[in-house]
Each structure stands twice: as structure tokens, then as C-alpha cells.
């Protein structure tokens, strides 16, 4: 749902120029579309190949004092589970889209 | 919105949990014990650069989502809330105009949205004061997932 123009430089742009056909090829070769519950021709490539925008699967966390890369106005997604509070900065999520994390033993996916 | 559309888990849903999107300052003030995701992600990315720059303000939508309802501008940011069978979009620009506690009837519940003086969303709660899930989204995306959504207006 977002524009991916700044990601992969020329490579991405080439894919975009090739349009839906190439995009569809990419999707069908890289992703498992078995048992699709929506029309397959409505599933489009976002441009970058699979894992071109890699999910963060082993997130590391620091205390606010160490977070010099954040300024007061920067947006974060905040989660509270069982008394534990965690913040996921949008400026990191923009490059990964998905964080797979575990909080108090509960698996969570953070995306936006 | 949280349903798998293909592959081994096709048709399965994730359970939505509550989260808040707000400024770093506002989050740390309310949660001084918080930790924060590190830029040490295992990948080399320039986190000081925004890959979506230009997209926020342009009216363009990159992927087809069918006809976009004209209630709001496609790129207007909304807070989306579902209660029972009802879905409602709260334009952030409207919420910012009146910081404080907004009460609204949605589904069979009266929900409350707590808006910070800077326009950030602090909490969304139901009748019983329990936090409920909400999501920040562009209008075009919210209405694509919720074709029957209503849009909050002050006079409602």
C-alpha cells in the first residue's frame, strides 16, 4: 500500500517499468500463493523481491538514554503487555515493515 | 485486515492487540521504564532517511484498491476503530482540533479517545475503561478494508 520508489534504486525502477507482468512473475516464484482466498490476479508485487524489505526477526532493545537516533517528535508504536512497555520507531519500521517479537512469552507482530 | 490471504495459513486471523502510535516524547513521559527497538537490526539501512518521503503529501496511490470513497482525501490519516460490526474512521486533523477526551457511540459501546495537547493519541478505551485496538491508516487503505465504515464528524 505504499510507494517503494526509493528502495532498490535502478533495479526496483526497472521492475516497475516492466509493470504487472514481471511483478506477477516475481510474486508467483517467490511467494506461496496456495489456497489464495482472494483472486490471484489481485495479488501484486510491491516492487522489491521477497525479503527485499526484510522483517526484523531478532529485535534488540535499548534504554531510552541510548536512543540518540530519536528526537522528541519522532513517531513510535508503543506496546504494553503485562507491565512491559516497548517502543518501535516508525523510522526503523519504514525500512522493514514487520517486527516479529516476543513479549512476556507472547509472540507479537508489529507492523503498520 | 489481519487475515492471511494465501499459503498454509490462508484464512486464519491474527488476534489484534492494543497499541498506540504517538511521539517518542509522549511515550517516554507515560512509560519511563520503556525499552526501544535498536537500530542494530542486523541490516544496513540509513534510518535517518525516510524512504517514503514525498509519498505522504502526494495524492497518488501506488497499488489499485478499487474506487476510493470520496468522504475524505485519499491520503488523509485516520484513526480506525472497530466495535462489533461497526467500523469508524476518525480523521486525525479533527481529533487534533479538540485535545482531551472524546466520547463517541460506536457499535453498542461508548468509546473514549484520549487526545494529547500535541494531537497525539494517548488511549482508546471502551465502556469499562479497557483499552481497545485502533490503527493509524490512510483513508484509502482503511476504507478498502472496511467498505461500510462511517466517518466521525463533530455533529454526530
Tell whether B13 is within 8 A of chain A (Cβ).
no
Q: Please, which contacts does A103-108 make with residues 24 or more away whose CB atoms are closer than 8 Å?
A: A103/A79, A106/A81, A106/A82, A108/A79, A108/A81, A108/B17
Candidates B5, B12, B24, B68, partner chain A, best to mutate (most A CBs within 10 A): B24
Structure confidence at residue B52 (pLDDT): 83
pTM score: 0.83
Share of chain B above pLDDT 70, in %: 98
Smallest Cβ distance to A58: which of B42, B49, B51? B42
Mean pLDDT of B99-115: 94
- Scored b (16 or more CB within 10 A) or e, A97-108 reads eebebebeeeeb
pLDDT of residue A19: 45
d(CA B134, CA B155): 22
Q: How far is A75 from chain B (nearest CA, A)?
A: 4
pLDDT > 80? residue A91 = yes
Residue B83 contacts residue B111 (beta carbons within 8 Å): yes
Q: What is the pLDDT of residue A3?
A: 41
CA-nearest of B59, B42, B14, B22 to B136 is B22
Between the two ends of chain B, the Cα-to-Cα distance in Å is: 26
Res A34: pLDDT: 86
Cβ of residue B1 closer than 8 Å to a chain A Cβ: no
Torsion of CA A46, A52, A57, A63, to 10 degrees: -100
Residue-level pLDDT at B147: 95
pLDDT at site A15: 38
Residue ranges covered by each domain of chain A = 1-48, 64-111
Chain A positions in Cβ-Cβ contact with residue B61 (cut-off 8 Å): 1
Q: What angle do CA A31, B141, A36 make, to 5 degrees?
A: 30
- Render pLDDT for B27-82 as a digit per residue (tens, 0 to 9): 999 999 999 999 999 999 999 998 888 777 777 777 778 889 999 999 999 999 99
- pLDDT, tens only, A4-39: 444 443 333 333 444 444 444 444 557 788 899 999
pLDDT greater than 70 at residue A1:
no
Q: Which residue on chain A is closest to B49 by alpha carbon?
A: A91
Per-residue pLDDT tens digits for A35-89:
999 998 888 888 888 888 999 999 999 999 999 999 999 999 999 999 999 999 9
Amino acid at each position: 500500500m505504499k510507494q517503494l520508489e526509493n528502495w532498490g534504486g535502478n533495479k526496483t525502477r526497472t521492475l516497475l517499468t516492466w509493470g504487472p507482468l514481471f511483478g506477477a512473475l516475481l510474486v508467483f516464484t517467490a511467494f506461496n500463493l496456495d489456497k489464495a482466498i482472494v483472486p490471484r490476479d489481485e495479488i501484486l508485487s510491491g516492487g522489491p523481491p521477497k525479503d527485499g524489505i526484510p522483517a526484523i526477526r531478532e529485535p534488540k532493545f535499548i534504554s531510552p538514554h541510548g536512543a540518540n537516533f530519536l528526537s522528541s517528535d519522532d513517531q513510535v508504536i508503543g506496546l504494553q503487555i503485562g507491565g512491559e512497555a516497548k517502543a518501535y520507531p516508525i523510522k526503523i519500521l519504514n525500512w522493514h515493515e514487520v517486527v516479529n517479537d516476543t513479549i512476556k512469552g507472547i509472540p507479537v507482530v508489529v507492523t503498520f | 485486515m489481519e487475515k492471511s490471504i494465501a499459503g498454509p495459513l490462508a484464512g486464519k486471523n491474527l488476534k489484534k492487540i492494543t497499541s498506540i502510535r504517538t511521539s517518542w516524547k509522549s511515550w517516554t513521559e507515560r512509560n519511563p521504564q520503556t525499552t526501544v527497538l535498536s537500530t542494530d537490526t542486523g541490516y544496513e539501512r540509513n534510518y535517518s532517511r525516510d524512504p517514503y518521503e514525498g509519498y505522504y503529501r502526494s495524492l497518488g496511490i501506488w497499488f489499485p484498491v478499487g474506487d476510493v470513497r470520496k468522504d475524505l482525501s485519499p491520503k488523509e490519516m485516520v484513526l480506525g476503530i472497530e466495535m462489533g460490526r461497526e467500523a469508524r474512521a476518525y480523521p486525525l486533523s479533527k481529533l487534533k482540533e479538540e485535545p482531551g477526551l472524546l466520547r463517541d457511540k460506536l457499535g453498542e459501546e461508548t468509546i473514549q479517545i484520549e487526545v494529547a495537547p500535541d494531537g497525539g493519541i494517548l488511549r482508546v478505551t471502551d465502556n469499562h475503561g479497557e483499552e481497545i485496538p485502533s490503527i493509524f491508516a490512510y483513508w484509502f487503505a482503511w476504507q478498502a478494508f472496511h467498505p461500510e465504515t462511517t466517518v466521525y464528524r463533530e455533529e454526530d
